[in-house]
């Protein structure tokens, strides 16, 4: 399997890349939790209802720890944490949570590791484990 993409032309006149073409991901659709439950059920001894129960409890535990200010590390899946959104102020004494906090954001960082030293230009980059084996294929479908 591969990630499908198509080429689109940049039509934003104010962009420095106006008129140039770039790859745009074409989604294959959506997968529901029920479909994932059935796939897991086929590859191990857990029933779909067991998977659903564990996923529900996992969600509740993640929410509990994230709302308590923890970064939740889920092994090969990655890290989840909550950050606050706010407007900026000139003077920290003028900051008021009821006025300047505008909401929360859920952050996700996929698990990964740095490339080994000596990897040239890659040595400062992070390799994301979820991308292992990922391939791309151009499609001409709209």
Give tens-digit pLDDT for 88-103.
999 999 999 999 999 9
* Cα 56 versus chain centre, distance: 20
Asked whether 138 and 3 are in contact (CB, 8 A), the reply is no
| Residue 44 pLDDT | 94
The pTM of this model reads 0.74
Give tens-digit pLDDT for 113-130.
877 776 676 667 888 888
Give tens-digit pLDDT for 50-76.
999 999 999 999 999 999 999 999 999
Asked whether 59 and 81 are in contact (CB, 8 A), the reply is no
**Contacts of 105 by beta carbon, 8 Å cutoff, 6+ apart:** 82, 83, 84, 85
The more confident residue out of 139 and 81 is 81
| Average pLDDT of every residue of the chain | 91
Instruction: Spell out the alpha helix ranges (H) of the chain.
Output: 33-43, 48-67, 97-100
DSSP 77: G
Residue in 2, 22, 25 with CA at minimum distance from that of residue 12: 22
CA distance 4 to 135: 9
Asked whether 40 and 32 are in contact (CB, 8 A), the reply is no
CA distance 29 to 31: 7
Examine the pLDDT at 142 and tell me if it is beyond 60.
Answer: no
Q: What token pair was written down for 29? A: 């659709």
Asked whether 85 and 103 are in contact (CB, 8 A), the reply is yes
């Amino acid at each position: 399997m591969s990630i499908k993409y198509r080429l689109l032309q940049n039509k934003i006149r104010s962009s420095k890349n106006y008129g140039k073409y770039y790859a745009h991901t074409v989604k294959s659709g959506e997968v529901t939790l029920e479909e994932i439950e059935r796939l897991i059920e086929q590859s191990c001894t857990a029933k779909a209802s067991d998977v659903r129960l564990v996923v529900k409890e996992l969600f509740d535990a993640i929410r509990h720890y994230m709302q308590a200010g923890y970064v939740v590390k889920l092994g090969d899946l990655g890290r989840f944490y909550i950050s606050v959104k706010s407007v900026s102020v000139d003077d920290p004494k003028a900051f008021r949570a009821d006025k300047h906090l505008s909401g929360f954001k859920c952050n996700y960082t996929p698990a990964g590791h740095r490339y080994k030293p000596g990897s040239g230009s890659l040595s400062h980059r992070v390799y994301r484990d979820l991308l292992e084996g990922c391939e791309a294929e151009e499609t001409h479908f709209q």
